[in-house]
Amino acid sequence: MRKVRATVTVIGLGYVGLPLAALCAEKGYRTYGITLEAKKVSMVNKGVSPIANDAELAVSVAKKHIVATRNAKVIRQSDIVLMCVPTPVDKLYNPDLSPVRSAALKISLNLRKGQLIIIESTINPGVCEEVILPILQKGGKVAGRDFFLAHCPERINPGDPTWNVRNIPRVVGGITHRCSRLAAKFYRSILESDIREMKSIKEAEATKIVENSFRDINIAFVNELAKSFDKLGIDVYDVIQGAATKPFAFMAHYPSCGVGGHCIPVDPYYLIERAKQSGFDHRFLRIAREINNSMPAYTVNHLIRQLNKLKMPLSGTSIGVCGISYKAEVSDIRESSSLKIISLLKEFGAKVRTYDPYLLEQSTDKSLIELLRHSDGMIIATNHREFVEMDIRKLRKYGIKVVIDGKNCLDKDGIVRLGMAYKGIGR
């Protein structure tokens, strides 16, 4: 018999919410999970994880300890409510807080005295107090007195074999000191990692945005170096590896065909927009975003140049794109640079072939060999192991003439020796 603790409801059963719900259930909490998708409800209740390629999560969901539902009334039966809904940007990069507002309303309509509400979604400083709190307090209950509100930004890195939902250190911040203490106590009951209590909820919100902006800026720096070193004829990849031999004050980041996923290319906009409202222009963050957003077009431009040297127009030429997901060994396509590359190639009239071992339904070809057989040129858009470990002799065997290595993960010298044109990003 499982010893049942308090009741937890996780709102949002995605990459963040589902592993969290599974962990809460494993630690003995009676766990509800709210999601908008009927299919997800049915899968989770049947013990099938809707998230592919996460064996530990699959085992956990198979125990059927999470009760999934679309009915927000389960919130009323809960002691702790964890919000894990998306925080995307629209086509013009404006933050879209509608999922957060809608989830906050669900909580507000079912709010009970004594409940602890924790926001895990990534949000800019101010969202908890300016957007979520007024919705929660609509019914007259007061935060810090009648219920407790805290923010604990999620740091999960899907596909990471080392760092996972249970061992990544966390920060928490509450509307009041007590809110923060209660949230920290809850996380200490489920995590094996350190929990740092921040002085305010704003500090906790800012921490996450700073982490992801730090990464975006560093990647933008090396992407800019790649463009510069392409002109200077220096291999940026070798240079970064050289710089990385310095044992202090340097952290290696590598250039690529773009920055994807639901976090790095999205979160900085939340800070940029909120700071703008307070009269501050985050120029540095804006430039980083601009540089990183330019990389898919830069990659396609390399392809056009290499084809030109062979007197081949891009229009009408078959180009195989290896990888659709935004990063290696996952099936998540949100903000994937591969999608931008595919769309640009189509715009230029190329015959586009695609293959992603994690997204076979969305691939035109169902194997790498099939893709190579149908392509004259190829772009590596995702560094899935299958591409990194491919036998490059097959490229020549199947008639590939140009290789654009958007992830700098192939053997450049070997490909050139085999008589094919090769261009990486900055190498």
Ligand X SMILES: NC(=O)c1ccc[n+]([C@@H]2O[C@H](COP(=O)([O-])OP(=O)(O)OC[C@H]3O[C@@H](n4cnc5c(N)ncnc54)[C@H](O)[C@@H]3O)[C@@H](O)[C@H]2O)c1
Query: Minimum CB separation from ligand X for residue 195, in Å?
Result: 16
Query: Minimum CB separation from ligand X for residue 166, in Å?
Result: 15
Residue 32 or 398 having the CB closest to ligand X? 32
Backbone angles phi, psi at 342, to 5 degrees: -60, -45
Residue 105 or 369 having the CB closest to ligand X? 105
Binding footprint of ligand X on the chain (CB under 6 A): 11-17, 34-37, 40, 84-87, 99, 102-103, 106, 121-122, 154-156, 158, 262-263
Give the angle 128-211-323 at the CA atoms, nearest 5°.
110
Residue 14 or 296 having the CB closest to ligand X? 14
Query: Minimum CB separation from ligand X for residue 144, in Å?
Result: 24
CA distances (Å), origin 200, targets 61, 178, 238, 239:
34, 11, 43, 41
Beta bridge partner(s), residue 8: 31, 80
Return d(Cα 371, Cα 16) in angstroms, integer. 33
Catalytic residue, from 152, 263, 322, 409: name it.
263
Residue 17 or 125 having the CB closest to ligand X? 17
Query: Which tokens is 202 given?
Result: 């704003």
CA 178 to chain centre: 32
The type of residue at 327 is K
CA distances (Å), origin 22, targets 263, 331, 333, 419:
22, 20, 23, 51
Return d(Cα 216, Cα 285) in angstroms, integer. 8
Place of tokens 């002109």: 231
Beta bridge partner(s), residue 351: 318
Query: Minimum CB separation from ligand X for residue 250, in Å?
Result: 26
- Maximum alpha-carbon separation in the chain: 73
128 counts as catalytic? no
Return d(Cα 132, Cα 152) in angstroms, integer. 14
394 three-state secondary structure = helix
Residue 89 or 322 having the CB closest to ligand X? 89
Place of tokens 């094919």: 420
Residue 86 or 125 having the CB closest to ligand X? 86
Residue 10 or 288 having the CB closest to ligand X? 10
Query: Minimum CB separation from ligand X for residue 338, in Å?
Result: 17
Query: Minimum CB separation from ligand X for residue 168, in Å?
Result: 10
Residue nearest to ligand X (CB): 14
Query: Minimum CB separation from ligand X for residue 105, in Å?
Result: 8
Return d(Cα 31, Cα 150) in angstroms, integer. 19
Beta bridge partner(s), residue 322: 355, 380
Active site residues: 263
